[in-house]
Amino acid sequence: MSVTLGQAVLLGIVQGLTEFLPVSSTTHLALAQRFLPGFAQPGILFDVLLHVGTLFALVVYFRSRIATTFAGAVSSDPSERRKAWKLIGLLALAVGLTGLVTMPLKRFAIEGMTEFRRMGVALLGMAVLLFIAQRVGGARGERGRALEEMRPRDAALVGVCQSVSAILHGFSRSGNTISVGLFAGLSRRAAAEFSFLLSIPTILAAAAVENIHAYRLKTGPLVDGSSLPAYVIGMFVAAVVGYFAISALLRIVVSMRLWPFIVYCAVLGLVLVFFAERISSGFVGDLKVLS
């Protein structure tokens, strides 16, 4: 199985945009792959490299915060060490609880990868969650606790709620975690920054678990040499698009302009709920965009 250059570029754009914008990357990748003519899953390396691309975008965008945290962790200044290890501990707590809740429901989550009606219902739930976040964040204004003031129970709440996105595809990971951070009393910027920083260990852990599982089951070849250039292009596109998506979402969250995403999730959710069978059977109807 191979992937063409055009398919790699398109899927790289989809991955880069939807990994960070609150619209569910899993749903959009499933739809894109469903409607791509002649597309066949090319093997686990392609998915790995797409995630590596978005992970690289995160590391580059937050390089200053990451460098400061690592420097603080080994600093001779006790206050700097405490601050750095507190953030590391909060991230570890959140991602650990995500895994603890998600792993027992892994089979249900895998089945949901092809259940478009279930994704549609989740997208409708995402629209409601974003609407509430818009009201809460808008009413609070710029007030709220900074990232340095975040408490373990805040991280625990975000981590547990992040598992919803892993179990119910359609709930955006970024939209979910940012909303919960706002509900916990964090400032808009702190909620967004913790969500993005949390995605680094989350993506790493999820990629490791999924690809070890795929390798053991031998569900596909690790490397398709003929498609390797396309894989790399897909990774690069996901990284570039993802970088700008992070910047855009930070501005959107700080200014609380979530209405376009609320409407988009609601409309797409309704489409998936009412046309799930046609999408699953490969009927595209008048949709000619990708054909």
Nearest by Cα to 271 from 130, 116, 152, 144: 116
Between CA 63 and CA 83 the distance in angstroms is: 17
- On whether residue 288 sits in a domain, the answer given is no
* Mean pLDDT, the chain, whole residue set: 84
- On whether residue 285 sits in a domain, the answer given is no
- On whether residue 212 sits in a domain, the answer given is yes
pLDDT at 288 over 70: no
Per-residue pLDDT band for 289 (boundaries 50, 70, 90) equals: very low
Q: What total of structural domains would you count in the chain?
A: 1
- On whether residue 172 sits in a domain, the answer given is yes
Structural domain for 259, as ranges: 5-280
Confidence (pLDDT) at 97? 93
CB distance 170 to 269 below 8 Å: yes
Q: What is the pLDDT of residues 226-259, one digit of tens each?
A: 667 888 899 999 999 999 999 999 999 888 888 9
Confidence (pLDDT) at 109? 78
Instruction: Give the burial string for 38-48 (b: 16+ CB within 10 Å, else e).
Output: ebeebbbbbbb
- On whether residue 93 sits in a domain, the answer given is yes
pLDDT at 264 over 70: yes
- On whether residue 220 sits in a domain, the answer given is yes
- On whether residue 286 sits in a domain, the answer given is no
CB distance 149 to 90 below 8 Å: no
- The mean pLDDT of 10-18, rounded to a whole number, is 91
Three-state DSSP string of 146-180:
CHHHCCHHHHHHHHHHHHHHHHCCCCCHHHHHHHH
pTM of the model: 0.85
- The mean pLDDT of 198-226, rounded to a whole number, is 68
- On whether residue 177 sits in a domain, the answer given is yes
Is 289 or 129 the better-scoring residue by pLDDT?
Answer: 129
pLDDT at 105 over 60: yes
Q: Which residues contact 74 (CB under 8 A, 6 or more apart)?
A: 81
CB distance 237 to 12 below 8 Å: yes
pLDDT at 215 over 90: no
Q: What is the pLDDT of residues 29-88, one digit of tens each?
A: 888 878 877 666 665 667 778 888 999 999 999 999 999 999 999 999 999 999 999 999
Confidence (pLDDT) at 43? 58
For 43-47, 139-143, 196-200, 271-275, which range has the lowest pLDDT when averaged over its residues?
43-47
Confidence (pLDDT) at 260? 92
Backbone angles phi, psi at 8, to 5 degrees: -65, -40
